[in-house]
Amino acid sequence: MPSALDQCIVLALHWHKEPFPTCVLAMFAQQPQDLVVVAGQPVTLPCAIPGYHGIVLWIKDGLALGVGRDLSGYPRYSVVGDHSAGEHHLKIQRVELMDDAIYECQAIQAAMRSRPARLTVLGVLAMFAQQPQDLVVVAGQPVTLPCAIPGYHGIVLWIKDGLALGVGRDLSEFHF
């Protein structure tokens, strides 16, 4: 996709009338940054592109949340700010673990992307759908310790006697 500068140059080369057109190149005045928030709190990811009046998309983990200010598929999400001033800030009400992702603001007609920003959501034990429980087991026999955290895409860490057993989303087997 051609950049805004490429489009401006092409426009200038094909213009045969007076006065000569001027191109205003859009630039990000504000971009999202990496943030760490506690689940349940609101957060706003900034995106400001003064002088740009085209379509702005917010991207979460590579997928578009909606077009412009229409984020109807995400009721806790909204695009806020003075649209005429180029403000397209993403506000998330009551952040949840499933909001932990990489976000990006894109100006479509200018072929611009903000820097990607990692939103890290810190959860609490109350958000576990199923917490591990103490079990009595037979030595030498396999045992399953279930732990469910719906919508969480971060790292799960199992600890035994103060030491990490392993790190990963799918720690399926550990012998000791």
pLDDT at residue 16 is higher than 60? no
pLDDT tens, position by position, 47-74: 999 999 899 999 999 999 988 888 989 9
pLDDT tens, position by position, 116-166: 999 988 876 545 666 667 888 898 888 887 777 776 666 666 767 656 676
- Would you call 157 helix, strand, or coil by DSSP? strand
Structure tokens at 58: 């917010």
Tell me how crowded residue 141 is: count the other CB atoms within 10 A of its CB: 6
Please give the C-alpha separations between residue 176 and each of 25, 27, 139, 140, in angstroms, as whole numbers: 61, 56, 11, 10
Question: Which of 119, 120, 115, 118 is closest to 31 using CA atoms?
Answer: 115
Average pLDDT over residues 83-90: 94
- Residue 71 C-alpha from the chain's centroid: 14
Listed by start position, the domains of the chain span 4-118, 128-176
Sign of CA dihedral 12, 16, 20, 26: negative
- Answer yes or no: are the C-beta atoms of 92 and 77 closer than 8 Å: yes
- Measured CA to CA, the distance from residue 86 to residue 69 in angstroms comes to 12
Task: Give residues with Cβ within 8 angstroms of 120, minimum separation 6.
Answer: 34, 35, 36, 37, 100, 154
- Answer yes or no: are the C-beta atoms of 104 and 59 closer than 8 Å: yes
CATH number among 2.60.40.10, 3.40.50.300, 2.30.110.10, 2.170.270.10, domain 4-118? 2.60.40.10
